[in-house]
Structure 1
């Protein structure tokens, strides 16, 4: 880390001073280091000419099943959906594992149900997350059975009231201010079972 910070600094006097401060705190062994180091790195990032090495410290938000039931609700056939469809709500708990805050800006999600591609969706969120903070969010997707004939088996299982295995894949974007706006994925966000709700 010391070498990375040194490589990114330039000749400007203020920049050299800020980077020396960052190196000083990196070499300290006191308990204060753990509390102050993230903010020193941010200040050094603003002072140094290249943010590349520091931007790499941002980890993607962590997704897992929330303590709420994810559901699939069948929709009856209609003029716009002659074969019917379904609405899906997946409850997720998202955590910021970083020592600095960021905003969860977007999620592009792909829903896989019983091994079949079922739906895609893009969600602009704008959800601020402090360091270590968790938040529970719903992800809503719509399935049109006329577009996906392979999902006929899913309709039969859902109509029988059986739960359905799902996987939610996605690409996640965050806004970390001066550290940039990295995008993570595609990756698996969460897996679980969908419980069938009534019409």
Structure 2
């Protein structure tokens, strides 16, 4: 039997749904060439590669959008350094009063709240009854220092599900701090 890509993908789907015992019986009947290893993972490789490419493109687009804000507000920060080695789902940009002026699409995926709902609110709208008062006070204190910092806070999604959110906050400058950027991820 010749193996082409369509046959391999169909076989891949078929074998992926078998338990180990059934797979062992089927493997004896397949007699593949030595170049094909079972189980075939061709579709998995394609999906993983495609997903990685989409994530990289989304990240680049998000960073480019932040750079557009940097041009508009004349920030002097090195944004490439800010984003270097940072893992994040959501990006939140606030003004000096911590009112949200922009969030990326990852913000909705992480919180359930859309961009329009978040606009002009402070990120504290994500906090709830079990959010630590000590953590909230610590964040407020660190913001006033105008230095980058990392904190973990208990936030709540739109559906009221709590989640721990790691935030990396950086002040954004033009002569003085004009805005803040938070790179966030659920942990």
Which TM-score band applies after superposition, normalised by the shorter structure? under 0.3
Higher RCO (CA 8 Å, separation ≥ 6 residues): 1
More helix by share: 2
More strand by share: 1
TM-score under structure 2 length normalisation:
0.23
TM-score under structure 1 length normalisation:
0.22
